[in-house]
Structure 1
Amino acid sequence: MVTRRQFLQGAAALTLIGGVGQQRALAAAVAGMRGTSSSAIPAAQGVSHYVDVFVGTGGHGHTYPGATMPFGMVQLSPDTNDAGWDACSGYHQNDGSIMGFSHTHLSGTGASDMLDVLVMPAQGPVLLQPGARGLPDKNYRSRYDSAAVAAERLPPDLVGVPGPGYRSRYDRASEQAQPGYYRVRLTDHDILAELTATLRAGLHRYTFGKKGSGHLLVDFAHGFHDNAKVPCKVTDATLKLVGNDTLVGSRRVHQWANGRYIHFAMKLSRPFTRAELFSNDAQVSGGQAAGTHLKAALHFSDAGDAPLLAKVGISAVDIDGAMRNVDAEIPDWNFERVQRAAADAWERELGRIRFDTSSATVRSTFYSALYHTMLAPTLFSDVDGRYRGMDLKVHQLAEGEHNYSTYSLWDTYRAQHPLLTLYQSERVPDLVNGLVRMSLESPAGPPVWPLQGVETYCMIGYHSVVVLAEAHAKGFKGIDYAKAWPVYRKLAMDEDYRGLPYYRKLGYIPSDKVDEAVSKTLEYAYDDWAMAHLAEAVGAHDDAKVLRKRSQNYRNVFDRKMTFTRPRGENGKWLEPFDPRGMGHSSKWRDFTESNAWEATFLNQHDLYDYMKLFGSETAFEKKLDTLFTTSSELPADAPPDIAGMVGQYAHGNEPSHHVAYLYAYTGAHYKTQSRVRMLLDTMYRAAPDGLAGNEDCGQMSAWYVISALGLYAVDPVSAHYVFGSPLLDSAEVDLGQGRKLAVVAHGNGPDKPYIQSITWNGKPWTKSWISHAELAQGGTLAFTMGATPNKKFGAAPADRPPSFGAAATA
């Protein structure tokens, strides 16, 4: 098992540049370039206008700003770096130069891969190395002749100086982006680069600022790698020229998703004058090359005469699939048509939630977050319905089905998937059936963190079962739950998997035998809760009983005397020394996954009323919650960078904390949930490059904001209900699908009015601090009345508190 901390560690604080205004308008600075596009790209319209795609591209958000479609297979975006923790998406605001534009990226992860098929336009000699990260030596090209540059012969006085390389500075004022479109001026080459995308293909347009020849470098060895000295590991790579206007290629990449396949087909808007293929940076003769380190240079004698377009289809199946994808989705060379189609698709999906507020800042933050909730999972099937399964074999979908990849399930089961069940309901069966197929096809069994047909084994638990159980609990049809059940049952009941034999035998995982054992115990307990629901759904009632009881194994790592979850040895004794801020009881062991005892103590999502008894009383539990938020935020030196966004020992920058502010509802002190949630909404998010408290994590960080801004949160997604928070909106309308609408109104809301005074549902008084998915999914009007002082009676009565473990609270 590899956690994000173990995959990539360490991150220096970065000085951020840029801002929201920089990214909104189109680049006037490039409008006067000779040979520029015949028509300007229109500014984003409708609610898309509020999206700032640069949110999270600074700090440690790990997002990318490039062109993609909602849940699209292609993410065509600039790469500023390909190694290091803050290069997980390939882009960071602080890097200062661009290596090129590649077609696959991860959004906000803490570990990385991808960055496939890098394309870089240039004039002058062909440079085969990117050069050092940051700002290339601006005087290098003028100080030495082109032959020396091409041969990369460094005079003694330039040893250690960045360059030479194909990366380029870029004009930050010219860097503009909106959903489905990106543009930037590469200043070292005087080239305007524009990007847009369809679901399975990317479209480039390069306008050369100078007359004469130019070339496109295709670096097929480029990809994310662990450090700058060790290249991306590639096998089975091929490049082939087809005629004088097409380049195709295949490779396998052995990085995070070890052994994944990628194929591409690139077609050019006019023939290249000549082409060069390189293996290990040595030119090879003929029209094809094979090896592990391949590149191509496609030359154009007339590069500066008119914009040069390149359309690139990708596929995990084969080159024919990539060719079909690009031919089907981009049959012409009309860049504006493709860009408009992408813009329309984004407006349609973003417009499923019409969010109104008097605060322009909140509106931009909301729609930027909503945009990020649709960057994963990603489509992973070709136009003909073929896809590469988790067995790395090629499979065929039934007509109308789609396959997906990029499920960051340790993160996204908490808020993103619950949010999708509300505003992307028609997509849910495809997304969940994809998990069912993976469980049947994968040698590893149920998916944990699947990427491009490969199990990465990243993070802990097997939370795909939560997504299945939630979908069933919410009544989604067309999903073969029964087919998935035997695979999940085998893992839960029989497999020797990441400490599960200890868990089954002892009721907990000993921290002197298994790393991150406390967190694993707690997360397996929640997975057991989800498994019990799935068992009932398929008629396995005896299994459900066993699993439901086993889901209370959280008790076995809870120390009643200290009122903390903590590490326990195989002999049953608590392990010393114990520091609730610490990562482990010794330097040899990590007891928690990207958290500590303070955070893990509140990881319980499904059995709150029995859990609170372990603290002595609900009052004691509530006081412990208070202390979580008010104690010192100090962390030990060995804490992973994922633990961020600190409020006391609460860490909003990492997912285990995301439900915690809502736990006050179970104690009857719902007004404290309202206060804490509003504070987190106000302080942990901004529409700025460094506007996220931690990694975006494939939509989870943003999904927390979106659903919380609507006044809702799924503490226990399997329960199929939502706890109220403190809505940021004045009003909102959510398209629930099938003609149903959910209207949410917050009367008297404002920055200083976080407290719920009362609620009505379809005009009738609603005294509960929660509401079921079944009620919301029918459509209606949820109306909050807000105020500056708490109404401590709201949600206080046991009958009005959220159910837990399938039962209501008792007095």
Structure 2
Amino acid sequence: MKFHQYLLALLMLLSCMNNDTIAQQKAKVNALTPLDYVDPTIGGSGIVLQPTRPLVHLPNSMLRVFPMKQDELDDQVMFFPLNVVSHRVEYAFSFLPIKGKQDDTFWGKRITIASQKSSPYYYQFEDEDTGMITEYTTAAKSGFFRVDFKDNNNNYLRLGLNGGNGNVQQLDKHSFTGTEEVTGLKVYLYAETDQDITDLKVQDKNNHRLLARFSTASVKFKYAISYISIAQAKASLQREIPGWDFVAIKKQAKAIWDGKMNQITLKGGTNAQKRTFYTSLYRTYERMVDINEYGQYYSMYDKQVHKSTEPFFVDNWIWDMYIAAEPLHTILNPKQEEKKINSYIDMYKQGGWMPAFALATGDWPAMTGNHAASWMADALAKGLKFDVKTAYKGLKKNSLEGTLLPWRNGPATAIDSFYNAHGYLYSSRPEERGSKDGVEMDKWWEGRGNEGVSITLEWSVCDWSIAQLANAAGYPQDKEKFLKRAGWYSNVYNTKEGFVWPKDKKGDWIYPYNTKLLGREYVTENNSYTYNWTPRHDLKGLFELMGGRQKAEAKLDQLFREDLSLSKFHFWLNQPDASGMVGQFVMGNEPSYHIPYLYNYLGAPWKTQKRIRMLIDTWYADNVFGIPGDEDGGGTTGFVVFSMLGFFPVTPGIPVYSIGSPTFNEASIKLPSGNAFTVKAVNNSKANVFIQSATLNGKPLNKPWFTHSDLLKGGTLVLQMSSKPNKAWGAKAADAPPSAIAVDPLTYK
């Protein structure tokens, strides 16, 4: 064979091998399931505030576990909390396998990670020093560790408290019990090992920590948590993990997660985008969690055990969750959403107030607003069934008889009486902070005002929502009262300055006032550039205050372009929640999430399309920095799921969705009814972010929104995409989605 023939043959052979390799790679990618794309370590290093955690749990289940580290950049595990009692705040018990010569350092010893595997249903890590492998999987109220120590020498399990009052103790040669008090809630533990304990040491006389020694190369440790009793914890463990088959429990957990992830299927997009999407979807199942323990549950709202066959859901930071997370699950699992709302109603009946942040440990009156109203009005408008009459009574009581002040529960104060009489919550000048009108306003942290601007804005939204419930609850006479209160947001809009602005008790605007640089003196976690856009229930009225749609559009443009006015570290010293900045737009905090969609209301939908794609592509990468702010257990990732699908719910209580710019060529939602709703983006690409035209079920759609009813019927939304905007599509005033105080949500059912 001549050389050139040999070379040609070699090139053909290499080409065939390369084609085979490419084909194999494609086949491997095509074989991936939605669950395979989930990576719980995404967002594991908080850019400014809290990181996400690689939680192992079942969807909306009581038991949640992760390896406690500083963040995902930390290579040492301190311990595993045996349950996350409240997202990111409260934990019960601690557990860690340890190998080595026992000494006093064992009580605080950490394990260095050589490698780890993380998924929603399974976690594994290898000890860099000893090769020990620790694995974990889960059931609903019980968990399962499997430890491979590699040999029989110097093998220990460390079991203790997480800082609360209580104790842990050995029950016999292969079991433990424990109790720990977490913010007043008593948490009970029952645990077993498959091997005998050969020696036991205690850290102190109070049995806060135990060190159990084993003389076998491997040990399995299974346990259950209860809020009722140790006996109940034992019963749950025997029910959920009766044997020692770790693989079977892992397989069972995987199947449950497969079902949830498979509810949305995608075509097109990159692997990185699918990782971001499905990881975000997984995050939205962290809360609320059902703490009913097979026929009974303990409620901190009346400190009683209740017999019930219904779930009792807790752990909802409603200020964060009502915006996107709960509306997402209103689509994916409406029956469960009804049960979550019923749990809130039960808490009201048990404790006398509708909860703010409904934790397992009781109501935590965090943040501002009465946003259970926003959530419930939205659910009612979308056809969910619950006890509207009782819900309405609780929401009305919160609004008219309870305090509006942040971080406070209970009846109205003199400051609240001022709000009810004057239609705004007055703000304190710096020299006035402290106890005013008999109310200590700086209770939660020193030097803070009463957040009067954001409270007025958010309670206006919430009162509008209450108005939408009045007729269904049987109180039509109340509707006008709450609609009037819904307009009070305008009392803190300074038309001269073009911003929401603090107003003092006399009704005068407070000067000087920096619309950019704030702590919490006047607003919550953000500044006036964000809170300018809060009245999503009355965008028509808001735009009129701003001088009309054209001026409002220019103001919205400037939001994304405005500078910080000072160095970033000085800005974040005062605004730590304002992360993911684009101009003064804050991608990392929930009150901003509807803002990019407001161009749909201003005759410029193409700008919504441009902004959404840029924001998703920029801030939601598939790595440890992939969450620009606090995730809040679904609060942020609900926005990601909606936006990557191509639409978003802007106004809670009006059952319509604003169209954005889909990430994927095709996304299909399998609805509980058996129908499917599909979004197709034809000619979609990184550059082709703009909608040229649209059809819904084959009929032309010339407006940038559709109804919840359209979605429930199933069908297909087809968007023709291009690299150039169609500035005429959806641009007429009549094309805008509905948002005004007088809007009747029933019109869009």
Q: TM-score, normalised by structure 2?
A: 0.88
Query: What is the aligned counterpart of 1:510 among 422, 426, 432?
Result: 426
> Which residue pairs with 1:298 in the alignment?
212
> Which residue pairs with 2:233 in the alignment?
322
Q: Once the two structures are superposed, what CA deviation does each residue of 1:335-383 show, in whole Å capped at 9, x if it has no partner?
A: 1101111111111001100022232221111111111111111222212
Report matched runs for 1:474-553 at 5 Å: 474-477=382-385, 479-498=386-405, 499-512=415-428, 515-553=450-488
Give me the whole-angstrom Cα distance separating, in 1, the residues matched to 2:474 and 2:158.
58
Q: Once the two structures are superposed, what CA deviation does each residue of 1:663-686 show, in whole Å capped at 9, x if it has no partner?
A: 111111111111111111111101
> Which residue pairs with 2:128 in the alignment?
187
Which structure dedicates a bigger proportion of its chain to helix?
2
Report matched runs for 1:41-60 at 5 Å: 46-60=33-47
Whether contact under 8 Å (2:93, 2:180) holds in the other structure is: no
Give me the whole-angstrom Cα distance separating, in 2, the residues matched to 1:537 and 1:503.
27
Match status 1:259 vs 2:173: no
> Which residue pairs with 2:370 in the alignment?
462
> Which residue pairs with 1:120 in the alignment?
96
Match status 1:759 vs 2:675: no
Q: Once the two structures are superposed, what CA deviation does each residue of 1:713-763 show, in whole Å capped at 9, x if it has no partner?
A: 111121111111111111111011021111111111111111111111111
Whether contact under 8 Å (1:213, 1:303) holds in the other structure is: no
Give me the whole-angstrom Cα distance separating, in 1, the residues matched to 2:401 and 2:116.
54
> Which residue pairs with 1:3 in the alignment?
none
Match status 1:62 vs 2:51: yes
1:259 aligned partner, one-letter code: G
Return the offset for 1:555.
Answer: 0.3
Return the offset for 1:324.
Answer: 1.5
Whether contact under 8 Å (1:425, 1:736) holds in the other structure is: no
> Which residue pairs with 1:89 in the alignment?
none
Give me the whole-angstrom Cα distance separating, in 1, the residues matched to 2:476 and 2:457.
23
Indicate the SS of the match to 1:242: strand
Indicate the SS of the match to 2:53: coil
Return the offset for 1:44.
Answer: 10
2:90 aligned partner, one-letter code: M
Return the offset for 1:389.
Answer: 4.1
Report matched runs for 1:190-589 at 5 Å: 190-220=131-161, 222=162, 232=163, 234-235=164-165, 237-253=166-182, 258-276=183-201, 278=202, 281-283=203-205, 294-300=208-214, 302-304=215-217, 307-397=218-308, 399=309, 401-443=310-352, 445-477=353-385, 479-498=386-405, 499-512=415-428, 515-583=450-518
Whether contact under 8 Å (1:801, 1:808) holds in the other structure is: no
2:186 aligned partner, one-letter code: Y
Indicate the SS of the match to 1:795: coil
> Which residue pairs with 2:722 in the alignment?
787
Query: What is the aligned counterpart of 2:64 among 61, 70, 75?
Result: 75
Whether contact under 8 Å (2:580, 2:586) holds in the other structure is: yes
Match status 1:166 vs 2:109: yes
Indicate the SS of the match to 1:76: coil
Give me the whole-angstrom Cα distance separating, in 2, the residues matched to 1:106 and 1:596.
32
Return the offset for 1:105.
Answer: 3.1
Return the offset for 1:283.
Answer: 4.2
1:64 aligned partner, one-letter code: R
1:558 aligned partner, one-letter code: Y
Q: Once the two structures are superposed, what CA deviation does each residue of 1:43-93 show, in whole Å capped at 9, x if it has no partner?
A: 996211111111111134521114211112111211125xxxxxxxxxx12
Give me the whole-angstrom Cα distance separating, in 1, the residues matched to 2:699 and 2:228.
54
2:390 aligned partner, one-letter code: K
Q: CA RMSD in A?
A: 2.1
Give me the whole-angstrom Cα distance separating, in 2, the residues matched to 1:53 and 1:686.
13
Match status 1:807 vs 2:736: no
Give me the whole-angstrom Cα distance separating, in 2, the residues matched to 1:502 and 1:321.
49
Give me the whole-angstrom Cα distance separating, in 2, the residues matched to 1:786 and 1:664.
18
Give me the whole-angstrom Cα distance separating, in 2, the residues matched to 1:66 and 1:545.
46
Indicate the SS of the match to 2:658: strand
Whether contact under 8 Å (1:376, 1:698) holds in the other structure is: yes
The percent of aligned pairs where both chains have the same amino acid is: 30
Q: Once the two structures are superposed, what CA deviation does each residue of 1:78-130 show, in whole Å capped at 9, x if it has no partner?
A: 1125xxxxxxxxxx1233311121222389x6xx422322111123455xxxx
Whether contact under 8 Å (1:102, 1:118) holds in the other structure is: yes
Whether contact under 8 Å (1:495, 1:501) holds in the other structure is: no
> Structure 1 pair 423/582, CA: closer, same or farther in 2 (3 Å)?
same
Report matched runs for 1:763-782 at 5 Å: 763-782=698-717
> Which residue pairs with 1:141 in the alignment?
none
Give me the whole-angstrom Cα distance separating, in 2, the residues matched to 1:358 and 1:188.
40
Give me the whole-angstrom Cα distance separating, in 2, the residues matched to 1:582 and 1:800.
36
Indicate the SS of the match to 2:113: strand
> Which residue pairs with 2:12 in the alignment?
none
Query: What is the aligned counterpart of 1:176 among 91, 94, 117?
Result: 117
Match status 1:591 vs 2:522: yes
Query: What is the aligned counterpart of 1:749 among 664, 684, 697?
Result: 684
> Which residue pairs with 1:140 in the alignment?
none
Give me the whole-angstrom Cα distance separating, in 1, the residues matched to 2:366 and 2:126.
37
> Which residue pairs with 1:633 in the alignment?
564
> Structure 1 pair 365/196, CA: closer, same or farther in 2 (3 Å)?
same
Whether contact under 8 Å (2:286, 2:633) holds in the other structure is: yes
Report matched runs for 1:666-705 at 5 Å: 666-705=601-640
2:170 aligned partner, one-letter code: L
> Which residue pairs with 1:98 in the alignment?
77
Whether contact under 8 Å (1:76, 1:103) holds in the other structure is: yes
Q: Once the two structures are superposed, what CA deviation does each residue of 1:781-804 show, in whole Å capped at 9, x if it has no partner?
A: 111111111111111112211011
Indicate the SS of the match to 1:430: helix
> Structure 1 pair 261/465, CA: closer, same or farther in 2 (3 Å)?
farther
1:299 aligned partner, one-letter code: R
Give me the whole-angstrom Cα distance separating, in 1, the residues matched to 2:359 and 2:159.
24
Indicate the SS of the match to 2:625: coil
> Structure 1 pair 580/798, CA: closer, same or farther in 2 (3 Å)?
same
Return the offset for 1:633.
Answer: 3.3
Return the offset for 1:502.
Answer: 2.6
Indicate the SS of the match to 1:525: helix
Give me the whole-angstrom Cα distance separating, in 2, the residues matched to 1:492 and 1:746.
43
Give me the whole-angstrom Cα distance separating, in 1, the residues matched to 2:490 and 2:92.
46
Give me the whole-angstrom Cα distance separating, in 1, the residues matched to 2:68 and 2:588.
24
> Structure 1 pair 125/454, CA: closer, same or farther in 2 (3 Å)?
farther
1:197 aligned partner, one-letter code: T
Aligned residues: 681
Return the offset for 1:767.
Answer: 1.1
Whether contact under 8 Å (1:76, 1:196) holds in the other structure is: no
Q: TM-score, normalised by structure 1?
A: 0.81
